[in-house]
Amino acid sequence: MIEARGLSKRYGDFVAVDDVTFKVGSGEVVGFLGPNGAGKTTTMRMLTGFLPPTDGTALIAGHDVFGEAQAARRAVGYLPETPPLYPEMDVQGYLKYVATIQDVPRSERAPAIDRAVERCGLGEVRRRLIGALSKGFRQRVGLAGAIVHTPPVLILDEPTVGLDPIQIQEIRSLIKELGGVGDHAVILSTHILAEVEAICDRVILIHRGRKVEDAPLADLTAGGRKLEELFARETSRDVAAPEAPAQAEGSA
Ligand SMILES: Nc1ncnc2c1ncn2[C@@H]1O[C@H](COP(=O)(O)OP(=O)(O)O)[C@@H](O)[C@H]1O
Ligand SMILES: [Mg+2]
């Protein structure tokens, strides 16, 4: 459903994303982990076709995000790091606008908006101005915008950042619900390990632009191992000596 093939992004001499390859299959919720600056947002922007890679390709539901941009765009819902919400629009108007630019046919727009409003718990605020909403509700509006055209693929960039604990719980269960629907695939970036343990089936860890781990959560936490330890070990490695054996076997 989501495929990165050798994705790389360079800014001058700086390599933000370095030859990243992975697949996310139908029914999976994958946590895309890494410290700040690891390259999560850059990778997600390439996966969604917002940023051209320096090398490699990205496919959404089998469509090349640049070669078949329209088909790829229809298949993906993207919650960017900073959702482009318009504070002067009301929730309903915003979702109508998003449904229109996502090519939802006119006759299907009203039911599509109703569905997104209902799924994201926005009923009580649908006539409110976005600028007047709390951060938690604005995040839900961003999610509603990402799912209004019922895409099978969701790419969510730090969906719970800046929320309070209750809002975090609500957004997490919403993501779990959305991802749990049969033929859906979700990848979400975060640096909160508890979030991954709460909602993800698999973990992809990147550090300094390179993929350093890709495994089912159950394998990574087998035998009571802590995700924190994996994270600390993988992200403290010097990139110049990535295979240092003393560190690679540090967890036993
Ligand atoms: N437009 C840009 N120009 C130069 N460097 C950039 C640009 N965008 C991102 N970077 C750098 O690429 C690295 C990865 O950034 P980012 O993908 O935002 O990381 P993350 O989302 O994991 O925190 C960072 O070091 C960031 O400063
Ligand atoms: Mg980021």
* CATH number for the domain formed by residue range(s) 2-82+151-248: 3.40.50.300
58 Cα: distance to centroid of ligand 2 (angstroms): 18
pLDDT, tens digit (0-9, with 9 covering 90-100), for 47-67: 999 999 999 999 999 999 999
Ligand 1, residue 45: give the atom nearest the CA: 17
What is the distance between the alpha carbons of residues 127 and 218, in angstroms, rounded to a whole number? 43
pLDDT, tens digit (0-9, with 9 covering 90-100), for 6-28: 999 999 999 999 999 999 998 89
Mean pLDDT score of the chain: 90
| Candidate from 9, 10, 11 with most ligand 1 atoms within 8 A of CB, to mutate | 11
Burial class of 75 by CB neighbour count within 10 A (0 to 12, 13 to 18, 19+)? buried
Residue 156 has a pLDDT of 95
Does residue 215 register a pLDDT over 50? yes
Does residue 252 register a pLDDT over 50? no
Confidence band for 241, pLDDT divided at 50, 70 and 90: very low
For the record, the structure tokens of 152 come out as 């099978």
pLDDT, tens digit (0-9, with 9 covering 90-100), for 62-98: 999 999 999 999 999 999 988 878 899 999 999 999 9
Q: 34: phi > 0 → left, psi -120 to 50 → alpha, else beta; which?
A: left
Share of the chain above pLDDT 70, in %: 92
> Domain-by-domain residue ranges, the chain?
2-82+151-248
pLDDT, tens digit (0-9, with 9 covering 90-100), for 121-142: 899 999 999 999 998 899 899 9
pLDDT mean over 22-39: 94
pTM: 0.90
Which segment of 104-108, 152-156, 172-176 scores lowest on mean pLDDT? 172-176
For the record, the structure tokens of 50 come out as 């917002």
Residue 182 has a pLDDT of 67
Give the pocket of ligand 1 (CB within 6 Å): 11, 14, 16, 34, 36-42
* Helices and strands, number each (H, E), in the chain: 10, 10
Q: Which residue's alpha carbon is nearest to atom 8 within ligand 1? A: 42
Share of the chain above pLDDT 90, in %: 68
Confidence band for 167, pLDDT divided at 50, 70 and 90: confident
Ligand 1, residue 17: give the atom nearest the CA: 14
pLDDT mean over 28-49: 95
Contacts 24+ apart (CB under 8 A), 61-69: 61/1, 61/152, 61/153
Does residue 209 register a pLDDT over 80? yes
Ligand 1, residue 34: give the atom nearest the CA: 22
